[in-house]
Amino acid sequence: MTLPLTLDFAPATPAAYDALAGAEGRLVLLLPPDGRLGALARRVNRAARGAIQRALEAKAWEKLKPGEAMELAWPAGLRAEAVQLVKLPARATVAEARKAGAAVGRALGEAGAVVLAAGQRRVADIALGLTLRAYDFGRYRTGEAAPKPRGLVMLLVDDPDAARAAMGPATAVAEGVCFTRDLVSEPANVLTTSDFAARLADLKTLGLKVEILEEDDLSKLGMRALLGVGQGSESPSKVVVMEWQGGKKGEAPFAFVGKGVCFDSGGISIKPAAGMEEMTMDMGGAGVVAGLMRTLALRKAKANVVGLVGLVENMPDGRAQRPGDIVASMKGDTIEVINTDAEGRLVLADVLWYAQERFSPRGMIDLATLTGAIIIALGHEHAGVFANDDRLAAALLKAAGAEGEGAWRMPMGPAYDEMIKSRLADMKNTGGRPGGSITAAQFLRRFVRDETPWCHIDIAGVALQSKDTTLAPKGATGWGVMTLDRLVRDLLER
């Protein structure tokens, strides 16, 4: 799937405006808080016989925060179906600019929009917010409910060439986020492990190197922790390796690792029926890694980055893994499987180890919808960040802050590690209810070398939202693509 709409830029001149002014659809005015009208906005106001000016003098305008909008429907004197007045200071923050764009994207219909953005810097952020909020996963809605195509959005700006140039990286980010959202939204009968791998193989057209390891390969590598999770499924387990080599030749890459459980029924430790349908999103970590790699390739990032995802399905079956089974990981450590529903850590254990053995990465970040406990701890506002390296954690939290994606550092320590000691094996895969997200992170840490700076991000609470958010409609958010793209810029591209 591609982006939800088409954007274009034209110069904010009277001639360009007059050429578009006859268009139906929406007319959007981005205006400073004091409501001062520029030349084009005055033209609109005259045509509307002063209606814009009157609206700006109303209390409703005063009450708006930066990035918020109000609307005049079927304004007399204009052909537009509506005029949207968006409050946006000329020196807006990134967050305000994206929010303003999102107000436009949310309201956008079939007839498209003309957006007067003269005097605005951060045009690319306005356009990014617009695009992300206009996203709609509508593949499976038919008839009346079928998604309507969005009309063209024409932005009138001071410098169309500069805007187009700035749009390049922003479009790459939008493409990555929408790719992640598509993957997370797909049902598990469509997005099987094989279908997921095929979609990743398609990224080769962008210049990424993509390699798919099949069960035979994984078996030879000794990834029995990962294979145990998938052994009850008809879908074959896979590991997909995506390499982007945009940096110095021979320089060690940074590694991103994703949990890709295409469906998590819990296995023999089966989950309750209520809400189980949400476990189609349990590949969200792999989805973010995929979206990030797409973004990096599209904007030709000057960095060496490798993305690895473990794709499995966790099902109950005659051949499925049992509670009490003991498996040997690729690293060699043995694991007692207490609960087959604590499967994500089993998958990640082998992929993390493989990533280090093969690439000796200069740093490593894994993402996973790993625990329900992180939702108890942080709700749906912040992802949980665990780390063995304060510098990497600080850089990650800074990038998340700059992108407006919630992230919160969680503690680790030997006392939590004690909780996953096993009587029969080197460790067990659950540590009980207390600190459930932390014991999961301690488990992963056993598969990370001390010399590898590493963060684990538990995105169980943020990958999916039950309500609309500023930049996304209800559903898959793509949380993390923007943060990690910025982290790559901050850490690897300077």
Residues in contact with ligand BES by CB under 6 A are 264, 282, 339, 341-344, 369-373, 430, 436, 460
Beta strands 407-409 and 383-387 are: parallel
Stretch that binds Zn ion, among 56-64, 136-144, 260-268, 289-297 (CB under 5 A): 260-268
**What DSSP assignment string belongs to 475-493?**
EE--TTHHHHHHHHHHHH-
3-state SS record for 48-68? CCCHHHHHHCCHHHHHCCCCC
For residue 344, the minimal CB distance to Zn ion (Å) is: 4
Complete edge-to-edge strand list for the sheet that includes strand 427-428: 326-328, 334-336, 427-428
The answer to whether 345 is a known catalytic residue is yes
Give CA–CA dist 119/35, Å, rounded: 13
For residue 266, the minimal CB distance to ligand BES (Å) is: 6
* 8 Å CB contact between 378 and 408: yes
Compose the 280-319 pattern: x for residues touching Zn ion by CB under 5 A, - for all others: --x-------------------------------------
Identify the three-state secondary structure at position 188: coil
* 8 Å CB contact between 258 and 306: no
Q: Based on the shown chain and the rule CB under 5 A, indicate whether residue 232 belongs to the binding site for Zn ion.
A: no
Q: How many residues appear in the chain?
A: 494
The interaxial angle of helices 436-445 and 344-359, nearest 10 deg, is: 30
Q: Would you say 335 or 342 has its CB closer to ligand BES?
A: 342
For residue 122, the minimal CB distance to Mn ion (Å) is: 41
Choice from 182, 336, 341, 389 touching Mn ion (CB under 5 A):
341
Residue 470 φ/ψ, nearest 5 degrees = -55, -45
105, 106, 181, 221, 459 from 469: Cα distances, Å: 12, 11, 14, 42, 16
Give CA–CA dist 259/369, Å, rounded: 7
Give 244's DSSP letter.
E
Q: Would you say 370 or 457 has its CB closer to ligand BES?
A: 370
For residue 368, the minimal CB distance to Zn ion (Å) is: 8
Choice from 264, 336, 389, 403 touching Mn ion (CB under 5 A):
264
Residue found by looking up tokens 């360009």 in the block: 16
Nearest residue to ligand BES, by Cβ distance, number only:
372
Q: Based on the shown chain and the rule CB under 5 A, indicate whether residue 264 belongs to the binding site for Zn ion.
A: yes
Which token pair is 322?
């049992």
Question: How many CB atoms neighbour CB 39 within 10 A?
Answer: 12
For residue 278, the minimal CB distance to Mn ion (Å) is: 11
Q: Would you say 305 or 342 has its CB closer to Mn ion?
A: 342
Point out the catalytic residue in the list 122, 150, 224, 345: 345
Q: Binding to Zn ion (CB under 5 A): which residues in 334-353?
A: 344
Residue count, binding to Zn ion (CB under 5 A): 4
Query: With CB cut-offs between 5 and 8 Å by kind, which of Mn ion, ligand BES, Zn ion, none does residue 203 bind?
Result: none
Q: Would you say 273 or 424 has its CB closer to Zn ion?
A: 273
Point out the catalytic residue in the list 139, 271, 409, 489: 271
The answer to whether 199 is a known catalytic residue is no
Give CA–CA dist 246/429, Å, rounded: 38
Question: How many CB atoms neighbour CB 50 within 10 A?
Answer: 11
Q: Would you say 369 or 452 has its CB closer to ligand BES?
A: 369
Which token pair is 378?
């942080």
Q: Would you say 12 or 460 has its CB closer to ligand BES?
A: 460
Nearest residue to Zn ion, by Cβ distance, number only:
264
Query: With CB cut-offs between 5 and 8 Å by kind, which of Zn ion, ligand BES, Mn ion, none does residue 436 bind?
Result: ligand BES
For residue 428, the minimal CB distance to Mn ion (Å) is: 15
> Per DSSP, what are the bridge partners of residue 256?
307, 365
Q: Would you say 184 or 305 has its CB closer to ligand BES?
A: 184
Nearest to 177, CA basis, from 45, 298, 76, 342: 298
For residue 339, the minimal CB distance to ligand BES (Å) is: 4
Query: With CB cut-offs between 5 and 8 Å by kind, which of Zn ion, ligand BES, Mn ion, none does residue 430 bind?
Result: ligand BES
Residue found by looking up tokens 């320089």 in the block: 251
User: Where does this chain bind Zn ion (CB under 5 A)?
Assistant: 261, 264, 282, 344
Active site members: 271, 345
By the criterion CB under 5 A, which residues form the site for Mn ion? 264, 341, 343
